[in-house]
Amino acid sequence: MSDIGLGHFLIVSTMLFFIGVYGFMTRRNMITMLMSVELILNACNINFIAFNKFLFPNQLDGVFFTLFVIAIAAAEAAVAIAIIINLYRNRKSIDAEDADMMRL
Amino acid sequence: MSASTIIFYILAAITLGGAILAVTSPKIFRSAIYLLFSLIGIAGLYFWMNFEFIAAVQVVVYVGGIVVLIIFSIFLTQGSGSDMKDPVKIRSLFAGLAALCGYCLTYYVIQRTEFHPQLEQGSAEISVSRIGEQMLSTTEHGYLLPFEVVSMLLLSAMIGCIVIAIKTRSIK
């Protein structure tokens, strides 16, 4: 535990978050957009764990929040992939711009 | 530069390099594999911080579950070797600018903020038994209610996935 502190982890997670944001805005394929969302959620998890480690070392709240975020991310990925597969059956495409079936 | 510092920088480089390649690679299957490397790097960062249980959960759920699910859905929906369409040039330019501006703003805020660690004397070790006891306790700092809510969420997500993705057979 030398000179690496909380700031290093926060900068890594900030970079990861904005890489995810960049991917979410540029990609048009739904699966790759889902992968960008996973990157964003992981950046959030790194923040929780780093705050727990460096600011509140004798508590466990960051661990629990990380566990719940991982569980919710898994549920979200499963539902998103079910929707993507159903969309592919109807449209033969998973491009985000082809998904206009809910338009009136 | 001690060894742990070097290891931290290596893990951060794996994480960020994998993430950048995952959002820019033109082939979708390679993109999923780069995402796998990025998630393993994040698990390594958890190991570096001595949170072994979280690192194990990260490997089991993300690497073993979500990435495999993503790869299967790639196989089900499109050819894994074909290139995707290029992003719109002007859109990727502005997305990069927005991400860069957001990063600079957040970096500025992080550099300005003073963090005050709460150094109380207590048991600093994170043991799995302590995590389990606190997660299932109903006392003041227990997490039993969120635990039950998450279990209901997982059940409903499972039923919802089955209902959405099931193949409806038309009645003749």
pLDDT in tens, B100-139: 999 999 999 999 988 887 766 555 677 888 888 888 888 8
User: Do B48 and B8 contact (CB within 8 A), yes or no?
Assistant: yes
Domain membership flag for residue B70: yes
Residues in chain B closer than 8 A to A9 (CB atoms): 45, 49
Three-class DSSP labels, B112-168: HCCCCCCCCCCCCCCCHHHHHHHHCCCCCCCCHHHHHHHHHHHHHHHHHHHHHHCCC
Domain membership flag for residue B1: yes
Domain membership flag for residue A34: yes
Last residue within a domain, chosen from B82, B115, B141:
B82
- The CATH number covering residue B68 comes to 1.20.120.1200
User: Do B38 and B14 contact (CB within 8 A), yes or no?
Assistant: yes
Domain membership flag for residue B16: yes
Domain membership flag for residue A91: yes
Considering only CB atoms, A22 lies closest to which of B42, B96, B115, namely B96
The Cα B61–Cα B58 span in angstroms is 5
B59 and B134 in one domain? Answer: no
Domain membership flag for residue B121: no
How do residues B159-168 score in pLDDT, each as one tens digit?
A: 999 998 887 7
Q: How many CB atoms lie within 10 A of CB A13?
A: 25
Domain membership flag for residue A19: yes
Our count of domains for chain A comes to 1
Domain membership flag for residue A44: yes
Domain membership flag for residue B106: no
Domain membership flag for residue A15: yes
What does the pLDDT read at residue B80?
A: 63
Burial B60-98 (b: 16+ CB within 10 A, else e): ebbbebbbebbbebbeebbeeeeebeebeeeebeebeee
| Ranges of chain A with pLDDT below 50 | 1
Domain membership flag for residue B50: yes
What does the pLDDT read at residue B6?
A: 93
Domain membership flag for residue B116: no
Domain membership flag for residue A104: no
Considering only CB atoms, B143 lies closest to which of A50, A58, A64, namely A64
Domain membership flag for residue B113: no
Residues in chain A closer than 8 A to B8 (CB atoms): 4, 8
Token pair of A1 as six digits: 């535990």
What does the pLDDT read at residue A47?
A: 94
What does the pLDDT read at residue B12?
A: 94
What does the pLDDT read at residue B172?
A: 54
| Ranges of chain B with pLDDT below 50 | none
Angle, helices B67-77 vs B28-48, to 10°: value is: 180
B70 and B8 in one domain? Answer: yes
Domain that holds residue A48: 6-98
Instruction: Residue count of chain A, please give it.
Output: 104
Token pair of B106 as six digits: 């957040």
Domain membership flag for residue A1: no
Domain membership flag for residue A28: yes
Residues in chain A closer than 8 A to B13 (CB atoms): none
Show which of residues 143-172 on chain B sit within 8 Å of chain A, judged by CB atoms: 143, 146, 150, 153-154, 157-158, 160-162, 164-165, 167
The Cα B151–Cα A23 span in angstroms is 31
Domain that holds residue B159: 127-172
Predicted structure pTM score: 0.89
Our count of domains for chain B comes to 2
